[in-house]
Amino acid sequence: MGTRHDSTGRPLPLANPTTRPHFDAAREHRFAMQRCPRDGFFFYPRSRCPNCLGADWSWETASGRGVVHSFTIDRTGHVPALAKLAPYAIAIVELDEGPRCTARLVDCDVEAVRVGMRVEAAYEEIEGGTLVNFRPRL
Amino acid sequence: MAKRSAAVVGLAEWKPERVWPRPMFSLEACAELAALALADAGVEKREVDGLCIGGIYESPLFGPSAAAEYLGIHANFAETVDLGGATSAGMLWRAAAAIEVGACETVLVLCPSIPPPRPDGAKRGKLDFPIYLGGDAWGSPQGAFEIPAGLVAATPSFAMVAQRYMARYGLREETLAKIAVDARYNAQFNPDAIFYGKPITLEDVMQSRRVADPLKLLEIVMPCFGGGALLVTTAERAARARHRPVFVAGFGEHLTHKSITYAPDLLDNPIRVAAERAFRMAGISHAAVDVVQPYDCFTITVLVTLENAGFCGKGEGERFVTERSLRWDGDFPLNTHGGQLGAGQAGTAGGLSHLTEAVRQLQGRAGARQLKKCDVAYANGTGGMMAEQVAVILQGA
């Protein structure tokens, strides 16, 4: 399965050979992203660039910074394992390097989240690894 | 010039139910829906040589051959379509295209969405959907990057479309609520609707609990069970059928992403390209459309679909929805059966309901909500997270 669950039933990422460098970097509190020499950064990790299908990309440490492109406050969690975390804010973050990623927003009042808010990666130690959340950038 | 090579001649549709009283296997449901659609059209089963099906629960692989064998059909065309809420619209154009190129002549489009009997003989069945809809499969990008972020089910994704819309154009929550109220009004004229006899007010919607901001409970479809079918055949055979033939005049399909995170643009949806292609193929203008049947899993889906499908400009949805009446007896009849917001979302049959209603209106069979004039219908399906979208233009003979 591409998702594993911790002892509380919370869904967590399960790295595979392609995505592992991203999750290994997260343990060091770095936001690693692949960069194609022709088309620039892309995310999520892939075997080939989603624009040119080239395989000559390289891993780079990105800024881990971006803006909230959109968000929602999930007030139910929708599945039992996530209900205990609700209400929580989920955001589509537009990274400064261009690509988007989705993450939970932490260390903030969910009611205060706004589109356009500057955010940065916030690393959460979890069972067996590190999860990349985002938080408002002060 | 509108296509006139394939036409819908018959339909079947079960009344959606929260608790399904007659558990059946998918193949049994397909057989019953096929019998109903054939009887409705007045077409003999031996004429059927094509099948479009969704998932067959008791045959996860090899579904088309399982259905052909069970129904006793010697098929010249058979396939499984996997486009979420756009599955039924995707099936309809595939059936029409297969007929047009001469691959087959008469196709059954089958959408059962009911629970199987339970092995212990209990009466009440339930459908077991995998909790993350399969997004947690080994190697799935969604499993590694979306589900752990808490992005599961559909509501939060569509909520983010709405939030982006609000930031981009400004949008009052009351505008979205009106879409739900008008849908529920239409449902009061459809005895088969799950919310028949249960009208709501703008205040009801506004005061319903927030599920994923800004979407509130009454802006979200009610999942239920049901099933439906369409029978599609050649123009020549359609001319001999019982009801007014409904030509598949144009169609378009477009998809670019699975997760909303990676949609090229949250507000420039795939339906824009799909609808452009459908209208161009049909050679029919928006002004000629008598009834609009957009997929409505959430209120926001309707707003952005009206814009992207070209019924109003980008950012004009609020004014359009506020100034027009979306009621069946209003100046812009939309989802005259109540949509899924009013009639219920019975799996892939929920998406099919936009098509069956369009066919009923075009055939003059819509009962208390029948439009005075109905010659052209626009309908579309939306699957996943504004992901796979299919538009069809239907035209009465």
Tens digit of pLDDT for each residue in B44-89?
999 999 999 988 989 999 999 999 999 999 999 999 999 999 999 9
Q: How many CB atoms neighbour CB B59 within 10 A? A: 19
Minimal Cβ distance to B156: which of A13, A44, A74: A74
B210, A75 contact by CB (below 8 A):
yes
Contacts of A132 (CB under 8 A, 6+ apart): A26, A31, A101, A103, A121, A122, A123, A124
Shortest CA gap B152–chain A (Å): 7
More confident call, B133 vs B226: B226
Cβ–Cβ gap A72/B163 under 8 Å: yes
Residue B73 corresponds to which tokens in the numbers above?
């059909």
Confidence (pLDDT) at A1: 67
> Quick one: tokens of A1?
């399965």
Chain A partners within 8 Å of B257 (Cβ): none
Q: What is the mean pLDDT of residues B213-227?
A: 97
Selected residue of A3, A73, A131 to mutate for chain B interface (largest B Cβ count, 10 A): A3
- For residue B397, give the 3-state DSSP assignment: coil
Q: How many beta-carbon pairs below 8 A join chains A and B? A: 120
Test B138 with A82 for CB contact under 8 angstroms.
Answer: no
Q: Smallest Cβ distance to B150: which of A19, A69, A90? A: A90
The band of B226, judged by pLDDT with boundaries at 50, 70 and 90, is very high
Q: Report the chain A residue with the minimal C-alpha distance to residue B263.
A: A100
The packing angle between helices B63-71 and B26-41, to 10°, is 60
**Residues of chain A whose pLDDT is less than 70?**
1
pLDDT reading at B108 higher than 90: yes
The stretch B369-393 carries a mean pLDDT of 97
Write down the pLDDT at residue B52: 98
Q: Is the pTM of this model over 0.80?
A: yes
Strands A118-126 and A40-42: unpaired
This model of the complex carries an ipTM of: 0.97
Q: With CB atoms and an 8 Å threshold, state whether A115 touches B163.
A: yes
Q: How far is A112 from chain B (nearest CA, A)?
A: 12
Q: Where are the beta strands (DSSP E) in chain B?
A: 6-13, 50-53, 77-80, 106-113, 210-212, 215-216, 226-234, 246-254, 291-293, 376-383, 388-396
> Cβ contact (<8 Å) for A70 and B132?
no
Report the residue from B145, B152, B156 with minimal CB separation from A13: B145
Determine, for residues B152 and A102 on separate chains, whether the beta-carbon distance falls below 8 Å. Answer: no
Binned at pLDDT 50, 70 and 90, residue B275 comes out as very high
| pLDDT value at B109 more than 70 | yes
The 8-class DSSP code of residue A9 comes to: -
Q: In this model, does residue B127 exceed pLDDT 70?
A: no
Find chain B residues with C-beta within 8 A of A116's C-beta: 167
Closest CA of chain A from B68, distance in Å: 33
Residues of A with CB under 8 A from a CB of B: 1-3, 11-16, 19, 44, 69-79, 82, 85, 88, 90, 92, 100-104, 114-116, 131, 133
CB B219 within 8 A of CB B209: no
- Residue-wise pLDDT for A51-91, tens only, equals 999 999 999 999 999 999 999 999 999 888 889 899 999 99
The yes-or-no verdict on residue B282 having pLDDT over 80 is: yes
For testing the chain A interface, which of B146, B164, B256, B259 should be mutated: the one with the most A CBs within 10 Å? B146
> What share of chain A has pLDDT > 70, as a percent?
99
